[in-house]
Amino acid sequence: MSRPSRVASTASTALPSVHTAYSLTLRVLHWLTALCMFVVIPLAWYMTSLDRHDPMRGNWINLHKSIGLTVLLLTLIRVVTRLSGNAPPLPASIPAFEQTLAHIGHGLLYVILFAMPISGYINSYGGGHPVNWFWLFQVPGVVPQDKALGHLGGQIHALLAWATYALIAGHVLAVIYHQLIERVDILGRMTGRAARR
Ligand code: HEM
Ligand code: HEM
C-alpha cells in the first residue's frame, strides 16, 4: 500500500495553514515578477553576446533595462502589499529547519529583486546612458554621472547575476522538492489552488 501523502494527512488533521494561499495581489505580483525575470536574464545573455556595432544592440539593452526597472516597480508594490497584509504562514508539517531556510531564501530573493535593478541603474546612469522606458519616456537620473560609480555598479550587477541564478535555481528546486518528495502542496499557495480547497 502506498504511503499516505502529507497533503492527505494534513487534510485529515485539518491543519489550517496548508489550506491558505497568498492573496490574489501577491500571487499576480509574484508571477509577473517571475515572468519578467525569465525574460530579462536570457535577454541579458543575448545582448551581451552581440557585437558592439550590431545596430539592434542598443534596442535590446534598452528593453533589458525597461523590464529590469519594471521588476523594481513590481517589487516596491509587492513589499508594501506584503508588509501591510498577512502572508500565509508556512504549513506546520514543514520542519522548522526548512522553514528557516525558506525565510532566508525568500529574503535573499527580495534583496536581489532590489539590488539587480538598482546596480543596473547605477551602471547605466553613472556611465551617462539614460533609460527610455519601453520607448515611452526617459527615466529620470538620480545618481551623478560618474564613470567610476557606473563601473562599480556594473561590477556589482555582474557579480550579483551569479547569486540571482543560484537563488532562482534553489527556489524552484525547493518547490519541486516540497511538491514531489515531501508531498506538501506549496505551489497551490502561489496559484490560489490551496484557497479553493
Ligand atoms: C531584475 C533586474 C535585472 C536582472 C536580473 C539583470 C540581469 C543582468 C544580467 C544577468 C546581465 C549580464 C551580466 C554579465 O554576465 O555581464 C546584465 C547585464 C546588464 N544589465 Fe541588467 N539586469 C537587471 C536590471 C537591469 C537594469 C534596471 C539596468 C539598467 C537600468 C540594467 C543594465 C544592464 C547593463 C547595461 C548590462 C550590460 C553590462 C555589460 O555591458 O556587460 N540591468 N543584467
Ligand atoms: C517557475 C518558477 C517559480 C515557481 C514555481 C515559484 C513558486 C513559488 C511558490 C510556490 C512560492 C510560495 C512559497 C510559500 O509557500 O511560502 C513562492 C514564493 C516566492 N517566490 Fe517564487 N516561484 C518561481 C519563480 C520565482 C522567481 C523568478 C522569483 C524572483 C526572483 C521568485 C520569488 C519569490 C519570493 C520572493 C517568494 C516569497 C514570497 C513571500 O513570502 O513574500 N519566485 N514562489
Map out the domains of the chain with their CATH numbers.
16-196 (1.20.950)
Which grid coordinates belong to 28? Answer: 499576480
> What is the share, in percent, of the chain residues with pLDDT greater than 90?
84
CA 80 to ligand 1 center in whole angstroms? 25
Q: How far apart are CA 187 and CA 154, in angstroms?
A: 35
- How far does the centroid of ligand 1 lie from the alpha carbon of residue 131, in Å? 12
Distance 106 CA to ligand 1 centre (A): 21
Residues 84-123 pLDDT 10s: 988 899 999 899 999 999 999 999 999 999 999 999 999 9
pLDDT in tens, 70-79: 999 999 999 9
- Using CA positions, which residue lies closest to atom 32 of ligand 2? 109
Q: Which ligand is nearest to the CA of 168?
A: 2
